[in-house]
Amino acid sequence: MAKMIGAIEVDIETCKGCSLCVEACPTDVIALADEVNGKGYNYAYMANPDACNGCTNCALVCPDSCITVYRKKVEMA
Amino acid sequence: MKGNEAIAEAAIRCGADGYFGYPITPQSEVMEKLMELQPWNSTGMVVLQAESETASINMLYGGAGCGKRVMTSSSSPGISLMQEGLSYMAGAELPCLVVNVVRGGPGLGTIQPSQSDYFQSVKGGGHGDYKLIVLAPASVQEMADFVELGFDLAFKYRNPAMILSDGMIGQMMEKVELKPQQKRWTDEEVAQMHPWATTGKPESRDYNIITSVELDSEAHEKFNHRLQVKYRELEEKEVRFETTDVDDADYLIVAYGSSARISAAAIEILREKGIKVGLLRPITLYPFPTKEIQRLGAKMKGILSVEMSSGQMVEDVRLAVEGKVKVEHFGRYGGVVHSPDEVAEALEQKLIGG
Amino acid sequence: MAEITEDIKVAENIVHKKSSVLTDKVMHYCPGCSHGVVHKLLAEVIEEMGIQDKTIGVAPVGCSVFIYNYLAIDWQEAAHGRAPALGTAISRLRPDRYVVTYQGDGDLAAIGTAETIHACNRGENMVMIFINNGIYGMTGGQMAPTTLEGMKASTCPFGRDPKTDGNPLKITEIVAQLPGTNFVTRQAVHTAAAVRRTKKAIRKAFEKQKDKTGTSFVEVVSTCNSGWKMNPVDSNNWMEENMFPFYPLGDIKDV
C-alpha cells in the first residue's frame, strides 16, 4: 500500500514559538519544545513525526518561514 | 516669454523625465505650458497633475529614487506642504528640482510677489539638519538656465535643489534664449550613472534601498555627519554670485531676484547723486556668498540688504560681516514690491543719515 | 518509522521551503504576526513569476517599515501615507517594472487616504497590498481608521464609540468603486486554506499588471496579537468572530 509520509525541519533559531503551526497541523504532529532557543522562544518541533503526511499547512501559516517540508510516497508493507 | 513658461520650456529641453505638480497662483503657467507642449509625445517626459503638493513632492521621491530627473513647481503655501517630502528626500539623498514662485505670506497670504520664503528655503524648511541647494534667478533667462543647473547640482550632490523665484520673475515677460533639445537618459544610462537607484535588482548587484530611517543613533549621527561634509563641500565649491559697481563703492546693496533688479535701478539713482553704491547679487542663496560679502564688506561704510520681506537674508549678511560693518534691511512685504526710489531713499536714510 | 522521517529529508522531497527572494534576516515582528506571512507570499509570488529583477517595492511607515530588510528587491521607503504617490511616479517613469506598495491601515486609510484614493482613481499600474489589523501596532496600539466599533485601543481604551471616535472605514469598498482599479479583494492568512487564497490573490494582482489596466488592490485582514493583547491563536479566532463580519473576505471587484 502506498502512503504519503512527510517530515518537517524547523529552523530552531528563527522560530518564535507562535504556535500557529501547531494549530494548523491536521495530524497533531507539531508541539512547542520545553527547551528554548537562543532568543528564549519555545520552538516548534515534530513531537509526533509518524503522523506527518507533508501537507505543508504548518509552513503555509508560519510567519517566519522557518519550516521546510518534505514529502514522499512510500510503499508500506 | 513669461518666466514660468521658460521653466517649462527649459525642463523639456534639458531632458527632464517628469514633472508632478499642483496648480497654485502665481506659477500655474508652468504646468499649463508643459501640458500644452505635450512632451510625452516628443521626449517621453511624464507630466502629471497630482492631487496635492504633498503627493507631488512624494512623486518626486519615487521618481528620483529611480534615478530620474524629476521636478515640481509651486508657490509658497504649496511649498510649505512639500516640506515633509523635502526633508525625506534630503534624508534619503535624492536629487530633484523644486521651483518656488514666491508669493506673500504667511498663511494663504496674497498672490503678489514676495521674498518671504528665504528662511524656509535656505535653512532647511522641514525637520532635521539638512539644506537645499537654492538658486535665485533674476531674469527670465536665468529661470530657463537654472533648470539645468539645478538638476546638475542636485545629481552631483544627491540633494534636492530649489529655484527660489518670485511672482514678479514668474510673470514677467522677457526675451530668452533656449538651449537645444538634449536627450533624456536611457534606463541603461540611469542604471550605470546612478548605481544607488531602484531600477530593479539585476543579479549583478545587491538590492538597493532608498530610505531615510536609521534607528541606531550612532549610525544616524554618522549619516548626518556625511550630510554635513556634503554641505561643507557645497559651501566650498558651488557659491555663485554677481557683483556690479563694487570697485569704487562706499556702500553695498545685497539683493537677490527681483530685488536685485530693483536695487540696480536704485544704484543708478544714488550714483547720479554722487553716492557710490555697488551691488552684490547672490545667485546661490544656499550656499550663501558669505566670504565675498565679508571681503567686500570690509571696505564699505555700510551694507543694505534689500529683500521683499521683513528682513530674512539680512541675518546672513550680518553673520557674514560679523558686526564689523553696519548692516541694515529694507524691503516692502506682504506682496508689495518696493520701487527703486524707495530703495535709494532707504539707503540714504539708514546708512548715511538724513 | 523515525528513520524514514529522517531519510526523506533530502532536497528532492522538498515540497515547501523558504523563498529565495526572502533574505536571511530574522523578521522583527512579534511572534505570530500576519506581516510575516504576507511578506512570504509576496516573496513567493515574485520568485515564481521570475520578476525579482523587475519589481520595485514601496515600503510604508508602521510595523512593516523595515519590509525592505526581508525581501531582496529594490525598495523605496515612503513617508507615512505617501506610498501610492511614490508608486505613481515609479510606475509612470518605469512602465517596464512591476510596482508594489505595502501599507498598513493607518498609513493607507488615515494619513494617506488622499494618495490611496487618487492613485486608485487614476488607475496607476501597481499592486497595492493593504494590511488591516484595526490598530496602530508600531506606536503601541492606538485606534486605527479600521478599528471596529467597541474594539479597545490605547486611544479608545473603553472601546471605539462612533459618536466620539468616528466609524471604522471600509477603504477597500471605496477603492472598488473607483474606475481605476481592476482587481480589489479582501483576504486573510489565519489558516492554511486562507494563506493559499491570499497567495492566489497576490499572484493575480501581479498578473493583472501585465496588461497595464490599473491598480490591483489586495487587503489582508490581519492580526496584531501584541496590540490586541491576545496570543496568536486566540487572535486568529477573535479575527474570525469579530473582524470578518465587518470586513467580509472575498473578491470585491475583478474586471
In total, how many domains does chain C have? 1
Q: pLDDT confidence of A74, banded at 50, 70, 90?
A: confident
Chains A and B touch, contact meaning at least 3 pairs of CB atoms under 8 angstroms apart: no
Give Cα B185 to chain centroid, integer Å. Answer: 24
Residue A1: its pLDDT value, please?
77
A-contacting residues of C 176-235, CB under 8 Å? 189-192, 195-196, 231-233
Burial state string for C3-14 with b = 16 or more CB within 10 A and e = fewer than 16: eebeebeeeebe
Residue A77 has pLDDT above 70, yes or no: no
- Topology of A2-75 in CATH? Alpha-Beta Plaits (3.30.70)
* pLDDT per residue as tens digits for the range A15-63: 999 999 999 999 999 999 999 999 999 999 999 999 999 999 999 999 9
What 3-state DSSP class applies to B240? coil
What is the CA angle B318-B319-B322, rounded to 5? Answer: 85
Would you say the CATH fold of B241-352 matches that of B3-187? yes
Q: Which residue has the cell 550613472?
A: B193
> What element of type H or E holds C242?
none
Report the amino acid identity of residue B30: V
C38 assigned to some structural domain: yes
C65 assigned to some structural domain: yes
Q: pLDDT confidence of C2, banded at 50, 70, 90?
A: low
* pLDDT per residue as tens digits for the range C206-242: 999 999 999 999 999 999 999 999 999 999 999 999 9
CB spacing of C77 vs B84 below 8 angstroms: no
Residue B354: its pLDDT value, please?
54
C2 assigned to some structural domain: no
Q: Quick check: C155 and C147 in contact, CB under 8 A? A: no
Residue B353: its pLDDT value, please?
83
Question: From CA B269, how far away is CA B275, in angstroms rounded?
Answer: 9
Question: CATH assignment of B3-187?
Answer: 3.40.50.970
CB spacing of B198 vs C68 below 8 angstroms: no
Q: Within an 8 Å CB–CB cutoff, is residue B333 touching chain C?
A: no
Q: pLDDT confidence of C1, banded at 50, 70, 90?
A: low
The residue extents of the domains of chain B are 3-187, 241-352
* pLDDT per residue as tens digits for the range C52-77: 999 999 999 999 999 999 999 999 99
C147 assigned to some structural domain: no
* Beta-strand runs (E) in C35-190: 55-59, 74-77, 98-104, 127-132, 135-136, 142-143, 181-188
Strands A42-46 and A30-36: antiparallel
Q: Which top CATH class is B241-352?
A: alpha beta
User: At a CB cut-off of 8 Å and minimum separation 6, what does B44 contact?
Assistant: B17, B184
C41 assigned to some structural domain: yes
Q: Within an 8 Å CB–CB cutoff, is residue C93 touching chain A?
A: no
Cis peptide before C168 (omega within 30 of 0): no
C23 assigned to some structural domain: no
pLDDT in tens, chain B (354 residues): 999 999 999 999 999 999 999 999 999 999 999 999 999 999 999 999 999 999 999 999 999 999 999 999 999 999 999 999 999 999 999 999 999 999 999 999 999 999 999 999 999 899 999 999 999 999 999 999 999 999 999 999 999 999 999 999 999 999 999 999 999 999 999 999 999 999 999 999 999 999 999 999 999 999 999 999 999 999 999 999 999 999 999 999 999 999 999 999 999 999 999 999 999 999 999 999 999 999 999 999 999 999 999 999 999 999 999 999 999 999 999 999 999 999 999 999 999 985
Question: From CA C142, how far away is CA C138, in angstroms rounded?
Answer: 9
The residue extents of the domains of chain A are 2-75
- Which of C69, C94, C107, C122 is the best mutation test for B, with the most CBs of B within 10 A? C94
**Where in the sequence is the domain holding C107, given as residue range(s)?**
30-133+169-244
Q: Which residues of A touch C195 (CB under 8 A)?
A: 60-61
A-contacting residues of C 134-173, CB under 8 Å? none
C250 assigned to some structural domain: no
Question: From CA C110, how far away is CA B327, in angstroms rounded?
Answer: 49
> Of the candidates C78, C72, C64, C65, which has an alpha carbon nearest to the alpha carbon of residue B208?
C72
Residue C168 has pLDDT above 80, yes or no: yes
